[in-house]
Chain A
Amino acid sequence: MQNEQEFSKAEKFWMNFKLYQLWRFIVLNVKIYTIAVQSKWH
């Protein structure tokens, strides 16, 4: 964050950059699925 109150221009760019977001989509899905499945067989 640019400071405690606003997103920087760079952050906003990455939030909307589709290729990067596709990467984040994959990473987040794998992360959430893995920890949720771990929890399921707890």
Chain B
Amino acid sequence: MAKVLVIGAGFAGHTAALYLGNKIGRQHEVTVISNRDVFGYVPSWVWVGVGHMKPEKTIFKLKPVYDRMHVKFVHASAKEIHPDDGDQYVLGDEVGTGKEVRLDYDYLVIAPGPLLNFAGTPGLGPENGFTHSICSLPHAIKTRDAYLALCDRMKKGEKVKIVIGTGHPAATCQGAAFEYIVNVHKDLVKKGLRDKADILWLSNEPALGDFGVNGVQIKRNGVVQKSDEFIKSVFNDHGIRYQVQTGVTKVEEGRIHWQNYEGEEGTTDFDFSMLIPQFKGQPFKYIGKDGSDVSSKLINPMGFVLVDGKYGLPYPELSQTPEAWPAQYQNPNYQNVFAAGIAFAPPGPISKPFTNKNNLAIAPAPPRTGMVSGVIGRVVAMNIADLIQTGKMTHSERMTEMVAACIASMGDSLWDGNAVTIVMRPVVPDRKKYQNEFGRDLFISHLEMGVSGAWMKFMLHYTFIWKFKGLLGWKLIPE
């Protein structure tokens, strides 16, 4: 009987656990270790952050799902990974009791989600800083409370400054911040307070609508349209000011310090700010049989797990080398160790990086959340099942082949809500396969705004929670 251990129960880890439980859970031992005993549907935290959705509607308990899916659940924080042959195990601390737990494995999936590196920007974050975040449910709740308190001030006639975007020169997940800024706009319009707020988009993207994926390009009626023009129209239409090519370097109470591409240093004042932090890998210890540190065989300096990608290529070469992106997410040194979701180390950025004259690199990191995380979780799970059953992996999917759909809502009303629907194939441009300057399938890629997107977003919330609960027909719902 093989033992498969999954660290983390987010989009990637939970998807992997569902497929593993379904494929091999009856014959083999599949275990999930997670420091949270609930699954959180992250895309809806945007609505929590403006007070439009109750937090409990975005979560559900994991254990009952795993009991049905033949998966063992351990509610503990993983802390040490011992990957050497013959004695492979993970150590963790049980949540609540602090008791140390040891979990042996034959195959390991590392999918714990990101470490939110607020410390990477002095003054950033809701715990030790002055800004807010929607990257975790407690953060989204705190953001909602601060936002509603701000609305109360506005109701009394006060004019306020709102800044939303990225809080580090190398932050990712611009899509989540975009969704939050347009939801804030829409909510203020509904409350009759929009004229009391000056709203600014502050981001490290090279251009508006870049989203860390080099933008989205589509062909409509024979004409190529780009996301920078589209998002510019959205912001102009909503009266949202924007400042891109900007890396936030420090935050003080009510003041953001930044540098831009030109190397200019400046400040922006705010009354309320939601800035996405830099993501890092979780700080696990990787320990060899003899007690030595084997981190360099498993992770890069950012803590992300090295997999079957081609690392170290300069950006111009990487952007022309689709096969540099990993296909099976398997560590080359420990072939029974896989990484999924944010945890795997991408070979480099998707968007063009930039270093200003002060040597500050302003470069969005590649987003690997949502659909991308789910797809990788599935690929990893199916390959582990393959290895156990036949000894040979049969699944692969590079981000240069992967399709991703993203719905950025603008309000949650089914009548007058709105959303931008974005579809891109592939997520990472493949200039060899798609012979255009963007490296994308311009027929499949899609960018559209309308109330239909709001209906889709609403539908996806319930459909995906159904899927993640492993209910009837869950496998028919794509990641």
What residues of chain A have their CB less than 8 Å away from a CB belonging to chain B?
Answer: 1, 4-7, 14-16, 18, 20-22, 24-25, 28-29, 31-33, 35-40, 42
- Cβ of B229 and Cβ of A1 under 8 Å apart? yes
Minimum CB distance partner of B449 in chain A: A15
Q: B166 contacts the other chain (Cβ, under 8 Å)?
A: no
Q: Which positions 208-264 of chain B face chain A at CB distance < 8 Å? A: 225, 229-230, 232-234, 236-237
Other-chain contact of B230, A1, A20, A22, A33 (Cβ < 8 Å) = A1
Minimum CB distance partner of B232 in chain A: A5
Q: Which positions 445-468 of chain B face chain A at CB distance < 8 Å? A: 446, 448-453, 455-456
- Cβ of A40 and Cβ of B456 under 8 Å apart? no
Q: B132 contacts the other chain (Cβ, under 8 Å)?
A: no
- Cβ of B456 and Cβ of A29 under 8 Å apart? yes
- Cβ of A35 and Cβ of B444 under 8 Å apart? yes
Q: Which positions 289-338 of chain B face chain A at CB distance < 8 Å? A: none
Q: Give CA–CA (A6, B371) in the complex, Å.
A: 30
Contacts of B395 in A (CB 8 A): 42
Q: Give CA–CA (A25, B455) in the complex, Å.
A: 8
Contacts of B236 in A (CB 8 A): 5-6
Contacts of A36 in B (CB 8 A): 371, 403, 405, 478-479
- Cβ of B416 and Cβ of A28 under 8 Å apart? no
- Against A, the Cβ 8 Å flags (1 = close, 0 = not) of B349-383 are 00000000000000000000001000100100000
Contacts of B95 in A (CB 8 A): none
B21 vs chain A, min Cβ distance (A): 18
Chain B interface bracket (under 10, 10 to 19, 20 to 34, 35 or more): 35 or more
A26 vs chain B, min Cβ distance (A): 9
Minimum CB distance partner of A2 in chain B: B233
Interface SS majority for chain A: helix
Q: Which of B120-128, B174-182, B418-426 faces chain A?
A: B418-426
Would A21 and B452 be within 8 Å (CB), given that A7-B237, A35-B444, A42-B397 are in contact?
yes
Q: B401 contacts the other chain (Cβ, under 8 Å)?
A: yes
A19 vs chain B, min Cβ distance (A): 11
A2 vs chain B, min Cβ distance (A): 8
Q: Give CA–CA (A18, B451) in the complex, Å.
A: 8
Q: Give CA–CA (A42, B371) in the complex, Å.
A: 15
Contacts of B225 in A (CB 8 A): 1
Q: B402 contacts the other chain (Cβ, under 8 Å)?
A: yes
- Cβ of B478 and Cβ of A25 under 8 Å apart? no
Q: Give CA–CA (A4, B401) in the complex, Å.
A: 30
User: A22, A24, A28 — which one has the most chain B CB atoms within 10 A of its CB?
Assistant: A28
Other-chain contact of B450, A14, A29, A37, A42 (Cβ < 8 Å) = A14
Give 25 A-B contacts (CB < 8 Å), ordered by A residue. Answer: A1-B229, A5-B232, A6-B233, A6-B236, A7-B449, A15-B418, A15-B451, A16-B450, A21-B450, A21-B451, A21-B452, A22-B452, A25-B452, A28-B421, A28-B446, A29-B456, A31-B444, A31-B446, A35-B403, A35-B444, A36-B371, A36-B405, A39-B401, A40-B478, A42-B397
Contacts of A40 in B (CB 8 A): 378, 478-479
Given contacts A24-B450, A42-B396, 14 further A-B contacts (CB under 8 A): A1-B229, A1-B233, A5-B229, A5-B232, A5-B233, A15-B451, A21-B450, A28-B446, A28-B448, A31-B423, A35-B444, A36-B403, A39-B375, A42-B397
Contacts of A38 in B (CB 8 A): 403
